[in-house]
């Protein structure tokens, strides 16, 4: 019997597991996909908003502000990168300038640091702002982060401290027993935390008619390669409208630029295909920035935001079913809010359910080895100890065989080509895996003791090699 079972290994579920792992509970994380961070967590703007934007009085507002403050320490603890780079909200008309004044009021009310700049002042700092930009709200506390790195690191550390993770485990039935739940006639647990993203309502419907309906809102993005000349050094927002925060230009932790997203309601909650949104982004992005290096475009993707019809996060114990906890509707600013949501769910809900004590033998994870972040001397030493670190596999991102083996053989390790890519970046560069994918595939097969033909690209059954030459056909 588990004390707590978390359904969904996105950033919120994983951080809940991470905070719980300090205590002596028996915790299980269930994930229907073959890797963690495969839903909304893996495809978004990869940033931590300052908290200037959400409507006053909402949970989105509360947790965004708390989350922004928590990120630097959280990332230090988890040994992942976090950078405070600031953001500009760029107004291009008198009407939009008035909207900036409303945002300023919210900043004052919420203690969010801000500064108002004239168009000219702002363009000195960001020369690629569009000519029409006339006034800018600067938000220096805005940060950037790689959300899947936070998720993977959180689960790795949680697992080092006893949390269990089951991948490829889809929850199809939940029965409420007297003192526990029975999942798929298989797993007994005292408490369920529903972090299933776009499928939160489907999970709840297994027990009762869900008090909310989850929809998927698709957001598409362009990814640009590393640039030798800075395009933008901060996040650039347009002035928000009733539809949301608009199309952004976002520098990423690893030196790429994201352009997006749009926002489209879609019927199929698992349809993360790119579509016409890309054309929309190409048009909209010109409102705030110019000289966009589209010739450096290397990738496009779409993410699905879990939107619920209550228009706010829904974080509480179910009002009918005891010990069933909803963490639903975690759309934007979900990444920003996730640490604060997770901490509150643990401290304000879950800890009240048990007598508990803290573990005295808590283990910290080691950081992923980032050879691009260490000195030549350190690199040399690393290679002398293990020659695999000298063998470059990904030429674009300069990733060595040693780094790839490391991310496969950890707790919450990579099992797919995409899993390796998310953890240490081979395939994230300008050739998009054209050169390194066959090598990564061989390393995965060796390390996992599988045949090369069994290795998958991303989701279950996404095999790469279909037949041996002159055989099997």
Partner 1 sequence: MNKYELIIIGGGSAGVAAALGAYENGLKKILVIERDSEYGGILQQCIHNGFGLHTFNEELSGPSYAQKYYDLIKDKKEIEFLYNAAVIKIDNKDISVQCEKGLLKYEAQAIILATGCRERPAGAIGLKGDRCSGVYTAGTAQKYLNKQGYLVGKKVFILGSGDIGLIMARRMSLEGAKVIGVAEIQPYSNGLARNIKQCLEDFNIPLYLSHTVESIHGKKRLEYITLIEVDDKLQKIEGSEKKIECDCLLLSIGLIPENTLIEELGVKIDPRTKAAIVDDNYMSSIEGIFVCGNSLHVHDLVDYVSLESRKAGKAAANYVLNGLDNSNLIENKVSNGVSYIVPQHFHLKTDIEFMFRVNKIYKQSYIHVYGNGIDKKIKRLGIVPSEMQKVLLKKEELENLQGELNWEIIE
Active site positions, annotated: 49
Q: Are 67 and 48 in contact (CB under 8 A)?
A: yes
How many residues bind to partner 1 according to rule CB under 8 A?
56
CB of 8 to partner 1, least distance (A): 19
430-437 long-range contacts, Cβ below 8 Å, gap at least 24? 430/225, 430/298, 430/396, 431/395, 431/396, 432/298, 432/299, 435/394, 435/395, 435/396, 436/393, 436/394, 436/395, 436/396, 436/399, 437/464
| By CB under 8 A, residue 446 contacts partner 1 | no
Smallest distance from the beta carbon of 282 to partner 1, in angstroms? Answer: 9
Query: Phi and psi (nearest 5°) for 80?
Result: -120, 165
Query: Rule CB under 8 A: is residue 468 a binding residue for partner 1?
Result: yes
Using rule CB under 8 A, residue 195 touches partner 1? no
Residues 6 or more apart in contact with residue 16 via CB below 8 angstroms: 6, 193, 195, 327, 342, 345, 346, 350
Number of Cβ within a 10 Å radius of residue 244: 16
Q: Which of residues 371-410 bind partner 1 (CB under 8 A)?
A: 376, 379-380, 383-384, 387-388, 390-392, 395-396, 398, 400
Q: How far is the CB of 69 from partner 1 (least distance, A)?
A: 34
Q: Which is nearer to partner 1, 104 or 383 (CB)?
A: 383
Q: How far apart are CA 136 and CA 238, in angstroms?
A: 10
Q: Using CB under 8 A, pick the residue from 16, 37, 272, 405 that binds partner 1.
A: 272
Rounded Cα distance between 386 and 77, Å, is 27
Interface with partner 1 in residues 283-312 (CB under 8 A): 297-301
Q: Does 442 bind partner 1 (CB under 8 A)?
A: yes
Q: Kindly state whether residue 464 participates in binding partner 1, applying the rule CB under 8 A.
A: yes
CB of 410 to partner 1, least distance (A): 23
By the rule CB under 8 A, 431 interacts with partner 1: yes
Looking at residues 242 to 271 of the shown chain, list those that interact with partner 1 (rule: CB under 8 A): 270
Query: What is the C-alpha radius of gyration for the chain, rounded to an integer number of angstroms?
Result: 23
Site residues for partner 1 per CB under 8 A: 222-223, 228, 270, 272-276, 278, 297-301, 376, 379-380, 383-384, 387-388, 390-392, 395-396, 398, 400, 430-435, 437-438, 442, 452-453, 456-470, 473
């Amino acid at each position: 019997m588990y004390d707590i079972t978390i359904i969904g290994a996105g950033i919120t579920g994983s951080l809940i597991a991470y905070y719980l792992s300090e205590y002596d509970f028996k915790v299980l994380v269930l994930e229907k996909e073959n890797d963690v961070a495969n839903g909304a967590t893996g495809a978004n703007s990869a940033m931590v908003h300052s908290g200037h934007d959400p409507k006053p009085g909402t949970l989105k507002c509360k947790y965004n502000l708390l989350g922004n403050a928590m990120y630097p320490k959280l990332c230090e603890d988890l040994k992942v990168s976090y950078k405070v780079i600031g953001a500009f909200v760029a107004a291009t008309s008198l009407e939009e300038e008035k909207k900036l004044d409303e945002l300023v009021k919210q900043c004052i009310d919420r203690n969010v640091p801000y500064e108002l700049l004239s168009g000219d002042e702002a363009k000195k700092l960001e020369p690629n702002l569009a000519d029409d930009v006339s006034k800018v709200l600067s938000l220096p506390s805005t940060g950037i982060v790689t959300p899947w790195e936070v998720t993977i690191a959180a689960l790795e550390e949680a697992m080092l401290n006893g949390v269990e993770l089951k991948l490829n485990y889809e929850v199809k039935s939940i029965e409420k027993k007297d003192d526990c739940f029975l999942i798929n006639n298989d797993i007994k647990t005292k408490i369920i935390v529903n972090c299933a993203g776009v499928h939160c309502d489907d999970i709840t419907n297994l027990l009762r008619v869900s008090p909310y309906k989850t929809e998927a809102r698709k957001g598409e993005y362009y990814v640009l390669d590393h640039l030798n000349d800075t395009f933008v050094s901060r996040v650039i927002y347009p002035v928000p409208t009733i539809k949301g925060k608009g199309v952004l230009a976002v520098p990423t932790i690893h030196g790429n630029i994201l352009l997006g997203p749009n926002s489209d309601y879609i019927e199929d909650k698992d349809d993360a295909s790119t579509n016409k949104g890309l054309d929309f982004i190409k048009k909209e992005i010109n409102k705030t920035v110019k000289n966009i290096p589209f010739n450096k475009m290397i990738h496009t993707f779409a993410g699905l935001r879990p939107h619920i019809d209550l228009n706010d996060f829904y974080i509480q114990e179910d009002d009918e079913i005891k010990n069933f906890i909803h963490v639903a509707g975690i759309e934007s600013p979900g990444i920003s809010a996730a640490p604060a949501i997770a901490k509150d769910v643990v401290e304000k809900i879950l800890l009240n359910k048990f007598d508990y004590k803290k573990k005295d033998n808590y283990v910290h994870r080691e950081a992923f080895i980032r050879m691009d972040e260490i000195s030549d001397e350190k690199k040399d030493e690393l290679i002398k100890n293990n020659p695999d670190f000298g063998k470059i596999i990904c030429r674009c991102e300069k990733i060595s065989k040693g780094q790839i083996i490391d991310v496969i053989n950890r707790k919450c390790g990579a099992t797919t080509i995409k899993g390796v890519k998310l953890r240490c970046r081979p395939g994230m560069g300008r050739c998009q895996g054209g050169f390194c994918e066959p090598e990564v595939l061989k390393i995965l097969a060796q390390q996992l003791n599988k045949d090369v033909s069994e290795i998958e690209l991303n989701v279950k059954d996404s095999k790469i090699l279909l037949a041996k030459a002159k055989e099997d056909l």
